[in-house]
Amino acid sequence: MAQQNNNRAQFATKLGVIATTVGSAVGLGNIWRFPYEAGNNGGGAFLICYLLCIVALGIPVLCAEFAIGRSTRSNIFGAFENLKSSSKWHWIGYIGILSSVMILSFYSVVAGWTMEYLYQSFTGGLNLSGAEAFHNQFTSFSTGNWRPILWTVIFLLCNYIIVVRGVKKGIEKMSNLMMPALFVLLIIFCVNSLMMPKAKEGLEFLFSPDFSKITPEVVVSALGQAFFSLSLGLGTMMTYGSYFSKDTRIVRSATITASLDTLIAVLAGIIIFPAVFSFGMSPVQGPALVFEILPSIFAQMPGAQIWSVLFFFLLFLASLTSTISMSEVSIAFLSEEKKMSRIKASTINLIIALCGGVLSALSFGYLSDLNFFGLFDINFFSFFDFTSSNLLLPLGGMLISIFAGWRLERSALKNALTNEGKIGVKTFPLLVFCLKFVAPIAILLIFLLGLKLF
Ligand code: TRP
């Protein structure tokens, strides 16, 4: 990996840049969260809001994060301090840390479910038949107290072992292999789902929007999902941008990352919804949806065990490349700004995530009736998920777009996006317009809606 004079590591190849940012973006957000959010929020109505949020808000904010990261070669705190010292902008970093720890907590629980399903695939434990059987299996597993915690802890330890070493090169290599493999597997499953008896109903649910179903909830969820899926709003992509070389094309990388990420989410939808209708289930299942449907799909395919082992293994790796990227936010803060050793920083991150992870894991069993100190009627898992994805990420994204659009010198933004004028970026005026007006206003409105729903 090439080193720059300021000793900051950089990605080795162009493919490495894409594979790693896509590695952060693609994960449970696409395969687990997108289908269940779409299922809960009316399918096509959700998809259309989601796509609008990706194009009008997601891509501009992604460009802003990359640009700020690369031009300051710093983590989210250092970045704002470098650009506007003696101001309060680095507070965005605190929002980032808070949301990254919340996300890491509940995300690890779901990644733990993935590990359980990988284990069950290996040992033949998914050898059941009928959607009902898979439903019961998931319910009895997730409402149990020990196994979900055990897997959450194992997952967080895997994450810890990787982040403690800061092995960027390894991640780059792993993502280079894993992403294409996952993609091929998804295509095969799509073809399989498209041949199911009620494929047409499933596709209609996802692709033909019923505009009357667009409610404030749908809009808030779509924005949250867009930010979650693109890993935006908490400085992850800013940190990754700081590893870009001076020749990396920011707008192009952002567009490719967003397109691949969206493609994978839509493929997941094409796999899930035809099956949901063919198995006579309801799309409104919440977080359990994918863990009940996927094993039922595999069970019907020839060579079921191989498909499910391969799939859950790749999904586990995809989750890991995502949690590595979110852990980097607080670890970079503790090690670069607070001058802690990497081990100490990673250990603090681990301990906090373990506490949040256990609370989230228990949210389906022992703590499922908890009403959050009597204040809210939701469990820890949903609290972490809703607060981070639907409130904190959009808030972070709004501040980042205001910063890039209004506070950052226009020439600095232009230099970053055009590689010091070496490449032309025709969309520059449009991007600036989105960062100055569209993103802050739209996100603010949706954020206020979200607060109200909260
Ligand atoms: N985008 C990832 C996914 O879809 C999750 C993720 C990684 C993330 N880093 C993030 C979400 C930072 C929000 C912020 O699975």
Question: Per-residue pLDDT tens for 398-450?
Answer: 999 999 999 888 888 998 899 888 888 899 999 999 999 999 999 999 888 88
- Coil/strand/helix, residue 41: coil
With the most atoms of ligand 1 within 8 angstroms of its CB, the residue from 21, 109, 236 to mutate is 236
Q: Would you say the CB of residue 45 lies under 6 angstroms from ligand 1? A: no
Q: For position 372, what pLDDT does the model report? A: 62
Based on C-alpha coordinates, what's the Rg of the chain?
21
With the most atoms of ligand 1 within 8 angstroms of its CB, the residue from 231, 316, 400 to mutate is 231
Give the rounded percent of residues in the chain with a pLDDT score beyond 90: 62
Q: Would you say the CB of residue 29 lies under 6 angstroms from ligand 1? A: yes
Q: Would you say the CB of residue 234 lies under 6 angstroms from ligand 1? A: yes
Q: Would you say the CB of residue 262 lies under 6 angstroms from ligand 1? A: no
pLDDT > 50? residue 301: yes
Measured in angstroms, how far is the CA atom of residue 122 from the centroid of ligand 1?
Answer: 28
Q: Among 30-34, 60-64, 384-388, which stretch is predicted with the lowest mean pLDDT? A: 384-388
Which stretch, 5-14, 243-252, 349-358, has highest mean pLDDT? 349-358
pLDDT > 80? residue 84: no
Ligand 1, atom 6: nearest CA belongs to which residue?
Answer: 231
| Prediction pTM value | 0.92
With the most atoms of ligand 1 within 8 angstroms of its CB, the residue from 228, 239, 319, 386 to mutate is 228
Q: For position 78, what pLDDT does the model report? A: 75
Q: For position 377, what pLDDT does the model report? A: 66
pLDDT > 60? residue 97: yes
Q: Would you say the CB of residue 236 lies under 6 angstroms from ligand 1? A: yes
Q: Name the pLDDT band for 167 (thresholds 50, 70, 90).
A: low
pLDDT > 50? residue 1: no
Tell me how crowded residue 87 is: count the other CB atoms within 10 A of its CB. Answer: 12
Measured in angstroms, how far is the CA atom of residue 229 from the centroid of ligand 1?
Answer: 6
Instruction: Look at residues 67, 352, 47, 331 and name the one whose alpha carbon lies nearest to residue 206.
Output: 47
Ligand 1, atom 13: nearest CA belongs to which residue?
Answer: 231
Ligand 1, atom 7: nearest CA belongs to which residue?
Answer: 322
Q: For position 88, what pLDDT does the model report? A: 79
Ligand 1, atom 8: nearest CA belongs to which residue?
Answer: 231
pLDDT > 90? residue 354: yes
Q: Please state the rounded mean pLDDT for residues 291-305.
A: 92
Q: Would you say the CB of residue 228 lies under 6 angstroms from ligand 1? A: yes
Per-residue model confidence as pLDDT tens digits over 25-58:
999 999 999 999 999 999 999 999 999 999 999 9
Q: Would you say the CB of residue 108 lies under 6 angstroms from ligand 1? A: no
Q: For position 2, what pLDDT does the model report? A: 37
Q: For position 4, what pLDDT does the model report? A: 40
With the most atoms of ligand 1 within 8 angstroms of its CB, the residue from 28, 31, 103 to mutate is 103
Instruction: Look at residues 442, 450, 414 and name the one whose alpha carbon lies nearest to residue 58.
Output: 442
Q: For position 76, what pLDDT does the model report? A: 75
With the most atoms of ligand 1 within 8 angstroms of its CB, the residue from 325, 384, 400 to mutate is 325
Q: Name the pLDDT band for 244 (thresholds 50, 70, 90).
A: confident
Ligand 1, atom 4: nearest CA belongs to which residue?
Answer: 29
Q: Would you say the CB of residue 103 lies under 6 angstroms from ligand 1? A: yes
Asked if 27 and 318 touch (Cβ cutoff 8 Å), the reply is yes
Give the 3-state DSSP-derived string for the chain, with helices as H, strands as E and coil as C: CCECCCCCECCCCHHHHHHHHHHHHCCHHHHHHHHHHHHHCCCHHHHHHHHHHHHHHHHHHHHHHHHHHHHHCCCHHHHHHHHCCCCCCCHHHHHHHHHHHHHHHHHHHHHHHHHHHHHHHHHCCCCCCCHHHHHHHHHHHHCCCHHHHHHHHHHHHHHHHHHHHCCHHHHHHHHHHHHHHHHHHHHHHHHHHHCCCCHHHHHHHHHCCCHHHCCHHHHHHHHHHHHHHCCCCCCHHHHHHCCCCCCCCHHHHHHHHHHHHHHHHHHHHHHHHHHHHHCCCCCCCHHHHHHHHHHHHHHCCCCHHHHHHHHHHHHHHHHHHHHHHHHHHHHHHHHHHCCCCHHHHHHHHHHHHHHHHHHHHHHHCCCCCCCCCCCCCCCHHHHHHHHHHHHHHHHHHHHHHHHHHHHCCHHHHHHHHCCCCCCCCCCHHHHHHHHHHHHHHHHHHHHHHHHHHC
For all residues of the chain together, what is the average pLDDT? 89
pLDDT > 80? residue 72: yes
